[in-house]
Amino acid sequence: MKIGLVGCGGRGTGAAEDCLKSAPDVQLVALADMFEDRLKSSREYLEKTKHAGVKIEHIFTGFDAYKRLLEHVDLVLLCTPPGFRPMHFEAAVEAGKHVFMEKPVAVDPAGVRRVIEAGKKAAEKKLGVVSGTQYRHHKAFIETIRRVHEGAIGTILQGRAYYNTGPLWRHDRKPGQSDMEWQLRNWYYFDWLSGDHIVEQHIHTIDVTDWAMNARPLRASAIGGRQVRTGDEHGNIWDHFCVDYEYPGGVHVMSMTRQMPGAGYVGAHFVGTLGTAAPYRGEITGPNRWKFEGNAGALGPAYVQEHRDLIESIRAGKPLNESEQVALSSLTAILGREAAYTGKTVSWDEMLKSSLDFSPPKYDFGPLAVRPVPVPGKKR
């Protein structure tokens, strides 16, 4: 199976390595990225690994690099900033390629709808699609949530979800960089590229919440803002959010995320009529008490397992297709973000139908204005 990587940053390079580890007879034959230096560092790292499948024959740069790469692969790894995901996924499906795509898969409702429609076409073409929501492929999470769905904690009454971490990387703007290049190299801090950290990062725990609830929220109310990252160098995203998601049956989940120094807790907890569940710990309390045997917090195996599950499903003639699942989890995160940005209670149906589209007017290395930092109460 010939694979190609689109997006050669740290996560993309790691995804290629994980894919090569996951199954026999997998060969990395192509790389694509916007920038030569990212291609060079990714290629050097991957060629130093001991995986026999590394034989990179095709190197592509620029805004159309993904299109040229698709001509040479069976399976494509889509690991660019998520603002490009709908466009790249559509092209991969059109070209008849199997897809691994990092989460989230969209940054706005328009992108979510594009991914859902392309996912339907992938199913018609019997193409495999797996996303980077690796907890779905983690034994501790799978076993914990299976027990929740089987009634181990009774009826869920409420939940809590956290993704509180420290600050992330940032690159200073260099002389001569266009607006587009500066934003691409600092993609995390711009809404059109990352969707804000509630979408780009907190989607992991939000996806676990939707999974455990076996539902999507009906509406959301939220608060948040910019308390630490206040300068123009941090683009137009916020640094903290707290969302009240209301699920069917009047069940509420408090969902909190922030990226600030000293912030360090990631987890999810669900309280039921018979006990509690903590998927990140692999633990059930109450009369049906259970504890995962092993290290529930070890994520390394899950990063490889998601690729193994995809490739094995393709080879078995029963390709997995997680496109709609991850698109809707992306929308749950977007729903929380927009409730916070606007200061309003926003419904799921309203968000799904929204015309909100962050796509830039054109894709080239020229001027690109940064949208103002959202202020609750102002029209969006």
pLDDT in tens, the chain (380 residues): 999 999 999 999 999 999 999 999 999 999 999 999 999 999 999 988 867 678 889 999 999 999 999 999 999 999 999 999 999 999 999 999 999 999 999 999 999 999 999 999 999 999 999 999 999 999 999 999 999 999 999 999 999 999 999 999 999 999 999 999 999 999 999 999 999 999 999 999 999 999 999 999 999 999 999 999 999 999 999 999 999 999 999 999 999 999 999 989 999 999 999 999 999 999 999 999 999 998 888 888 999 999 999 999 999 999 999 999 999 999 999 999 999 999 999 999 999 999 999 999 999 999 999 999 999 998 66
Query: What pLDDT sits at residue 52?
Result: 67
Task: Answer for the pair 163, 201: CB distance below 8 angstroms, yes or no.
Answer: yes
Query: What pLDDT sits at residue 53?
Result: 79
The length of the chain is 380
Overall CATH class of domain 2-133+302-319? alpha beta
CA distance 41 to 53: 18
Query: What pLDDT sits at residue 55?
Result: 84
Residue 276 is inside which H or E element, if any?
strand 276-278
Ramachandran assignment for 249, one of left (phi > 0), alpha (psi -120 to 50 degrees), beta (any other): left
Query: What pLDDT sits at residue 379?
Result: 67
Dihedral angle computed from the Cα positions of residues 213, 341, 108 and 210, in that order, rounded to the nearest 10 degrees: -10
Domain boundaries defined on the chain: 2-133+302-319
Question: Which residues lie closer than 8 Å to 139 by C-beta, 6 or more apart?
Answer: 292, 294, 301
